[in-house]
Amino acid sequence: MCMSTHIHIPSWFWVGCDDFAHRGNYVNFDGQQLGNPGVYATFAPGEPDTAIHCGVARGDAKLGTGTCTLKREYLCERYKPGQKPPTMAPSPSAPTGYVTAGNYGRSLYKVHRDEASWETARRRCADEGAHLMFVNSQEEADEVLKKSDLPGWFWLGFDDFTNEGEYMYLDGTRLVDSGYSSWANNEPTDDLNCGVAKTDGLLGTGTCKLEREYICEWDKPSSPPLPSPYPSGYVKIHELGVYKVHRDRVPWEAARRICQAEGAQLLIVNSQSEAEAVLGTSGLPSWFWLGFDDFDNAGQYITLDGNTLLDAGYEKWDSGEPDKSVNCGVASVRGLLGTGNCNLKREYICELI
């Protein structure tokens, strides 16, 4: 829900919209953008404050935004029996301006000659349904990088934000595992974080705030998968459950919401077997989100279904954890638990419920 009609709640209260996917672009939980035809978008004066991300409303039916970690009253909405929430069907057609690269047919590409910072370039590609380019082979480097005709260094879709010095593409693939990692002389530079390339096909790193040209890549839709009883991307692991590893990095609340929209929840580990089979084989780097927090009582970590970790069946903390100054649950591929700053962006695992 992202509207109100004279509800008797004092001050601002939570409603179901946010801009986690694209900063300043507020979207309802059902995927509909505020302001689109038929979608309510009457903001209070001075709103939205794009420095904060979660939707609020007040009794005069005006909308605003609020700091997501504050505690407020809220409204829930339930669909009538037989009524389904609206969905937005993805378009199978390529975005405007995307072209093939010679005989390399896995993706379509668009060279952006407007200069932007790395993060702005990443968001612009995402707004087009694409991503900053990943280089997966010498052939791709030859057909795209070397024929781009871009001067100097330009942005690619890798960084080392998760682990200093370990460069990874935006889908979580390490460069060393991607099929292409040809660095220029004296690269990568240890104190720089964002990926760049040149038309000679060599890779490097650059200051993320500098403005450069960039290449976006649109992945062609794959062949339709075989029929499955599970939602797209979910796989059954033994008899433990059905899971999906998300390699897109988002804040904890956004991860919780995305899982919920898929009919799932952020993973709750219930046994040593589940920790080994799911956490241990996820292939995720560093810490990733799990479904527990201490929002209700500081220092008392509770799963999303209301159990203590001990009652849930698994409570193996890493050394020095939990850090009670932060609130949201994380885990590592070693099967150990920890806590993290809820506003940081991490990968996550959803579990069908």
pLDDT digits (tens, 9 = 90+) for 190-234: 889 999 999 999 999 999 999 999 999 988 765 454 456 788 889
What is the model's pLDDT at position 267?
96
Going from the N-terminus, what domains does the chain have, and what CATH number goes with each? 1-78 (3.10.100.10), 99-219 (3.10.100.10), 235-352 (3.10.100.10)
User: Which residues lie across from 79 on neighbouring strands?
Assistant: none
Computed over every residue of the chain, the mean pLDDT equals: 84
Q: Stretch 32-48: mean pLDDT, rounded?
A: 81
The lowest-confidence range among 62-71, 315-324, 332-341 is 62-71
Please tell me which of 8-17, 157-166, 244-253 the model is most confident about, judged by mean pLDDT: 244-253
Whole-number Å distance between alpha carbons of 246 and 158: 17
Mean pLDDT of 272-278: 88
The pLDDT confidence band at residue 172, using thresholds 50, 70 and 90, is: confident
More confident residue, 180 or 84: 180
Q: In the prediction, which pLDDT does 70 show?
A: 72
Cβ pair 110, 98 in contact under 8 A? yes
pTM for the full model? 0.43
- Whether the per-residue pLDDT at 325 is higher than 50: the answer is yes
Residue 156 has pLDDT above 70, yes or no: yes
Strand boundaries in the chain, DSSP class E: 13-18, 27-28, 54-57, 63-66, 99-101, 104-116, 131-132, 154-159, 168-169, 194-197, 203-206, 212-219, 235-237, 241-250, 264-266, 288-293, 302-303, 328-331, 337-340, 346-352
> What is the pLDDT confidence band of residue 44, given thresholds at 50, 70 and 90?
confident
State how far Cα 159 lies from the chain centre. 15
